Amino acid sequence: MTDHLPVLLVVVPLVAAPIAALLNRPRLSWAVAVAATLWALYVALELLSQTMAAGVIHYELGGWAAPYGIEYVVDPVNAWVVVIVALIGALVAPYACASVEREITEDRIPLFYAAFILCLTGLLGIAVTGDVFNVFVFLEISSLSAYALIALGSDRRALTASFQYLIMGSVGATFIVIGIGLMYVMTGTLNMADLADRLPEVSGTRTIPVAFTFLTVGITLKLALFPLHLWLPNAYTYAPSAVTAFIASTATKVGVYLLLRFFFTIFGATFSFDVMQLDRILMPLALIAIVTMSLVAIYQENVKRLLAYSSVAQIGYMVLGISFASVLGLTAGILHLFNHALIKGALFMSMGCVMYRVGSVRLERMHGLGRVMPWTMAAFVVGGLSLIGVPLTVGFISKWYLVQAALEQGMWPVAGVVLLGSLLALMYVWKVVEVAYFHEADPELGISEAPLSLLVPTWVLVLSNLYFGINASDSVGIATRAAEVLLGAL
């Protein structure tokens, strides 16, 4: 049974999704979702410990040997991503129970859980597969269910946000398919390891740079790198709170993983960065994302939208780390992948608590919440400090490695921009803190603290922000190992 873990990671949630839909009882479907996410988390942790101890795990689907059959490959890079996705999934699922009952009509709740599990399946599948066309299939599974999830938002603008995401997401996915097709026509293979072997022979042709370009645009659209982030703010703002918390901490992270996988494992760092000079595009875009999106976030009146713009800025940090193409830079990027999932998960979950009690996350409705919802807002404050990068939080660890990676290459201005980004983050986090703590609450509204079923998952994430901020050796160790694996494949 343990031999089949890589495929069971995907198959169990895939089967759980229709079961959740067929049971058609809100609480039963919810129980299925919780069971599926816990299973995914168990398998993810098992896979991570196996691959850290014994090296890369290969799994041949249906016993068909690679490169003809589809192969699942687990190495420290994707085991880490799988753990992130499964961890957030396992925390959002219990959280969703109360949150979803408040925000979605009862007859749609079972279908919500079905779509939620499918989205999780897709994200896990993208991470675990070793076949590029399989990546596309899982990408569409996760994207299509994400569109449905976002459209479940109670505001009617959720529908247009979802439609916009559908159009842009499908274009991105189609670009990825074009890239994959062009690679296939030159090499005759879809297996990642096999592609990595065969691509250098044909990299001098015109087809491969074109494939590379299509993939770059497609993937950066999926991970919402500035200026291809236009679908993100509306989608995050109007989606149900639990969906925002889940998608914000996982979907873009898996996009970043795809970027790493395609550019380092498949094309190889030499081709991507020396021949195609990808860093000349990624680094400026990342820096612009950090500065402009943080500035835009400062002017937002809706806290979910504020955090959405902040997410685009944070994606800038991850891509910046990757654009250094050094072990330290990649470590910073991969570390921030995990850390940002913890940060944004905690922040969006605390906003879900506000949504539950207040019914809105607009700043003018949040006056004095620090006093009536102390635990919720305390979670926001700790998450916010982590976002800024205050020592003892995970945000600090990411920034520390990022600045080190910049200084290692003598790029002082880049390190300066990273610090400027923190300063801007301080401004937008403060804006929320000021409203929540330094304004009087309206006692007539009778707002009380959010229920425990929302607070517990939120605080698990908040405390892990602190835990991995103080005891970072595990996460840094895995990220360094992952960075070495990616660069070692040269």
Partner 1 sequence: MTALGLFNYWAVIFLMMVGFYTLIARGNLVKKIIGLNIFQTSVFILYITMGKITGGTAPIFVEGGEDVIYSNPIPHVLILTAIVVGVATSAVGLSLVIRIKEAFGTIEEDEIQDESL
> Which residues face 71 on adjacent strands?
60
> Which residue intervals of 3-75 are DSSP H helices?
5-23, 26-54
Taking the least distance from each CB to partner 1, the nearer of 147 and 226 is 147
When asked if residue 116 is in the footprint of partner 1 (CB under 8 A), the reply is: no
- Residue whose pair of structure tokens reads 């999932």 in the numeric block: 341
Taking the least distance from each CB to partner 1, the nearer of 234 and 310 is 234
Please check whether residue 260 is in contact with residue 334, taking contact to mean a CB–CB distance below 8 angstroms: yes
When asked if residue 441 is in the footprint of partner 1 (CB under 8 A), the reply is: no
When asked if residue 162 is in the footprint of partner 1 (CB under 8 A), the reply is: yes
When asked if residue 426 is in the footprint of partner 1 (CB under 8 A), the reply is: no
- Residue whose pair of structure tokens reads 């559908």 in the numeric block: 166
Contact flags string 171-190 toward partner 1, x per CB under 8 A: x-xx--xx--x--xx----x
Nearby residues of 109 by Cβ (< 8 Å), 6 or more positions away: 26, 29, 30, 100, 101
When asked if residue 209 is in the footprint of partner 1 (CB under 8 A), the reply is: no
When asked if residue 136 is in the footprint of partner 1 (CB under 8 A), the reply is: yes
When asked if residue 23 is in the footprint of partner 1 (CB under 8 A), the reply is: no
Supply 432's token pair: 């929320």
When asked if residue 210 is in the footprint of partner 1 (CB under 8 A), the reply is: no
Please check whether residue 149 is in contact with residue 112, taking contact to mean a CB–CB distance below 8 angstroms: yes
When asked if residue 148 is in the footprint of partner 1 (CB under 8 A), the reply is: yes
When asked if residue 205 is in the footprint of partner 1 (CB under 8 A), the reply is: no
Taking the least distance from each CB to partner 1, the nearer of 140 and 484 is 140
Tell me the backbone φ, ψ of residue 57, rounded to 5 degrees: -100, 125
Taking the least distance from each CB to partner 1, the nearer of 150 and 269 is 150
Nearest distance in Å: CB 148, partner 1:
6
- Using CB under 8 A, which of the segments 151-159, 198-206, 375-383, 400-408 binds partner 1? 151-159
Q: How far is CA 458 from CA 91, 213, 343, 389, 479, in A?
A: 8, 39, 10, 19, 24
- Using CB under 8 A, which of the segments 29-37, 162-170, 196-204, 288-296 binds partner 1? 162-170
Handedness of CA 49, 345, 223, 21 (dihedral sign): positive
- Using CB under 8 A, which of the segments 142-150, 306-314, 320-328, 423-431 binds partner 1? 142-150
Task: Report how many residues bind partner 1 under the rule CB under 8 A.
Answer: 26
- DSSP per-residue letters across 185-246: HHHS--BHHHHHHHHHHHTTSSHHHHHHHHHHHHHHHHTT-TTS-TTHHHHHHHS-HHHHHH
Please check whether residue 208 is in contact with residue 199, taking contact to mean a CB–CB distance below 8 angstroms: yes
Among 4, 25, 157, 280, binds partner 1 (CB under 8 A): 157
Give the footprint of partner 1 on this chain (CB under 8 A). 133, 136-137, 140, 144, 147-148, 151, 156-157, 159-160, 162-163, 166-167, 170-171, 173-174, 177-178, 181, 184-185, 190
